[in-house]
Amino acid sequence: MATQKALEGKVSLITGASRGIGFAIARKLGELGSRVSICSRDPQKLESAATELKRLGISVFAKPADVTRPADIDSFVQRTESALGPIEIVVNNAGVGYFGPSQDASVADWDQVLDTNLKSVFLMTKAVAPGLIQRRAGHIINIASLAGKNAFAGGAIYCASKWGLLGYTQCVAEDLRAYGIRVSAVCPGSVATEFSPQGTHANKDTSKMLQPDDIAHAVAMLVTQAPQSFISEVVMRPTQKP
């Protein structure tokens, strides 16, 4: 798929990267030679993640940020480019969930999920698109979910955010294709991380579930594909049902 340093000299920005899928993606892209910029709302976990990446020899910039706030997004992008150089790869990974009947949810629950899972991607795209267009190259990868394709009880708000994310991704891909920019979605099923509907892992064999490194592998594939290729969506399931 790629040589060991296929991303040498490139700058990758990953949101929600202090743990789980985001951290695995940052580590994988760093191992491929990219300089990586990571953010999270938790300064302590972010610092720990940055320390671990540096220990692996990866060049990293880390900044606490709330991706639902335009000012935080703009500052994160600007500080990243000042520290590392022009951004070429963006992975919108930050996400939260609400799982329960929608009639029991509050407006605040709705706003938190939609702002984090969907609005933040719009904000980040607006922030990075001018530079990518100017350089006529780049990748925007949005970590979606099979919940963007499948309905389930208690998933109304989360599914709405991910269905919206897939629609947004497909339209932005058409907006930016003419500039040599690829916009893709990765849609995993349940991944063995701390993020999941409460209790859903209780009766599952987590060793059979998708792992964060599996998602990182898919992202690495997307950013190392041949110039004439455009993989617009990756759907991921475990080999065996947990």
DSSP-based three-state secondary structure for 65 = coil
pLDDT at 85: 98
> What string of pLDDT tens digits covers the 242 residues of the chain?
444 689 999 999 999 999 999 999 999 999 999 999 999 999 999 999 999 999 999 999 999 999 999 999 999 999 999 999 999 999 999 999 999 999 999 999 999 999 999 999 999 999 999 999 999 999 999 999 999 999 999 999 999 999 999 999 999 999 999 999 999 999 999 999 876 554 445 567 888 899 999 999 999 999 999 999 999 999 999 998 87
pLDDT at 219: 98
Count of other CB atoms within 10 angstroms of residue 186: 25
The DSSP output letter for 116 is I
pLDDT at 1: 46
Asked about 158 being catalytic, the answer comes back as yes
Chain centroid to CA 200: 22
pLDDT at 196: 55
pTM of the model: 0.94
- The C-alpha atoms of residue 167 and residue 58 are separated, in whole angstroms, by 34
Q: Domain ranges for the chain, please list them.
A: 11-236
Q: Which of 98, 158, 168, 179 is flagged as catalytic? A: 158
The percent of the chain in helix, strand and coil, each rounded to the nearest 5, is 45, 15, 35
pLDDT at 3: 45
Cα–Cα distance list, 24 to 142, 143, 167 (Å): 15, 13, 26
Architecture of 11-236 per CATH? 3-Layer(aba) Sandwich (3.40)
